[in-house]
Amino acid sequence: MDEVKFYPSKRGEYPVKDFIEKLDLKSQAKVYSYLTLLKEQGSRLGGPYADKLKGQMRYLRIRTTAGYIRIFYFSPGRNAVLLHAFKKKTPKMPKKEIEIAEKRILDFITRNKRGEFDEKKTSNIG
């Protein structure tokens, strides 16, 4: 995998990055270690770290001191784009959380086709 990037909203916000920054430092470190694994292994990364959800969407499965965290992502080309993150509180994957990630995939694809993502302005991990 070339890069792991944060999905940028139309207003220039990075929802996953903001989510991670609100976690305690120990949890942040664990999340970033999983993101490093994703960058190193790309689509080969599987259980117990990652899994496929539906269509192009995959997710990281992270257990931290802050609780169970899920980070949805997809891989257009050789990059991974981090779409949405949340604390998982129920056994099933909440439909609302999946819908947020699906909308961001469509938004990313549409805006990327229009050339809205300048490599210099796209935020990478690390």
At residue 126, does pLDDT exceed 60?
no
**CA–CA dist 84, 15 (Å, integer):** 7
Percent of the chain clearing pLDDT 90 (strictly above) = 74
Residue the block writes with tokens 């117990």: 48
Residue ranges per structural domain of the chain: 3-113
- Contacts (Cβ under 8 Å, ≥6 apart) of 10: 107, 111
pLDDT score for 76: 86
Q: What is the pLDDT of residues 78-98, one digit of tens each?
A: 889 999 999 999 999 999 999
What value does the mean pLDDT take over residues 36-62? Answer: 93
Torsion angle defined by CA atoms of residues 37, 42, 48 and 17, in that order, rounded to the nearest 10 degrees: 60
pLDDT score for 84: 98
Global pTM value: 0.92
Token digits for 101?
């990630």
Considering only the top CATH level, what class is 3-113?
A: alpha beta
At residue 115, does pLDDT exceed 60?
yes
Using an 8 Å Cβ cutoff, are 39 and 113 in contact?
no
At residue 117, does pLDDT exceed 80?
no
Give exposure, 9-37, as e/b (b: 16+ Cβ within 10 Å).
Answer: eeeeebbbbebbeebeeebeebbeebbee
pLDDT score for 120: 47
Across the chain, mean pLDDT equals 91
